Amino acid sequence: MIEPIQSGGDSEYETLSDSEAWKAFLDGNCDAFQYLFRTYYDDLYHYAVKFSGEPAVAEDHIQKLFFKLWRRRDQLDEVEGVKTYLWTALRRSMIDTHRRKKTEEKYLNKLEGTRDRMQFTAEELIIRHERDAIQSTALKEAINQLTPKEREVLYLKFYEGMNYEEIEQIMSVSYQTSRNYVYRALQSLKAILTSEVALGVLLLGLLSF
């Protein structure tokens, strides 16, 4: 297994913006690199597991991504949206690895029949302190009836809190397409859910945007 580069503490970078930490990393600062790795690893891992369905594969992809970044840091540019950059790079890496010269759409279509991939629990898409009041089983089943891209775009928007511009970049779709995916997914959820569950979700703001 690939191990991340080890270094000293990274507490000094907690007061910097991510873009400032990224610039320090580009300058060869190992502590800044470790700070970015530790800051984003858990969220990247969670997303990668949803995408691949395999924890070991997810971990391997993330560590390979960061080692590639470290090796090629002198070729990289400064970025404002570090999170968006990392999500985009990880997603592209996973698609490139799995499609094996096939198109992205063919690879994603394979996920359609794989029910343990890109499926999200109800807890991931509703406000935590109120989630016990929602019929989570029905919501989970409804979400998992959506297409892989619809599930992914809901995950990015409501769980990761990304805006449409960030989703556009990560998924390599247009701004309007990302909005359309969300709209269709939410309309499908409204149609699938019972009125009681739909009302609860509406109150939590999931079906309003």
Q: What is the pLDDT of residues 114-129, one digit of tens each?
A: 444 566 655 555 544 4
DSSP for residue 134? S
Q: What is the pLDDT of residue 40?
A: 93
Residue 64 has pLDDT above 70, yes or no: yes
Q: What is the pLDDT of residue 80?
A: 82
Q: What is the pTM of this model?
A: 0.63
Residue 175 has pLDDT above 70, yes or no: yes
Q: 43-52, 140-149, 154-163, 188-197 — which is least confidently predicted? A: 188-197
pLDDT tens profile 157-170: 888 888 888 888 88
Residue 199 has pLDDT above 70, yes or no: no
Q: Which residue has the higher pLDDT, 203 or 191?
A: 191
What amino acid is encoded at 202 in this protein?
Answer: L
Which residue's structure tokens are 């971990």?
59
Q: What is the pLDDT of residue 128?
A: 44
DSSP for residue 182? H
Residue 72 has pLDDT above 70, yes or no: yes
Q: How far apart are CA 128 and CA 143, in angstroms?
A: 17
Which residue's structure tokens are 């400064």?
78
CB 146 within 8 A of CB 152: no
Closest CA to 65 of 4, 117, 10: 4
Q: Which residue has the higher pLDDT, 141 or 151?
A: 151
Which residue's structure tokens are 């990302």?
178
Structure-token pair, residue 86: 């990392």
Averaged pLDDT for residues 37-52: 89
CB 64 within 8 A of CB 93: yes
Q: 7-11, 16-20, 47-51, 90-94 — which is least confidently predicted? A: 7-11
| Ordered structural domains, the chain, with CATH | 11-99 (1.10.1740.10), 120-204 (1.10.10.10)
Q: What is the pLDDT of residue 44?
A: 93
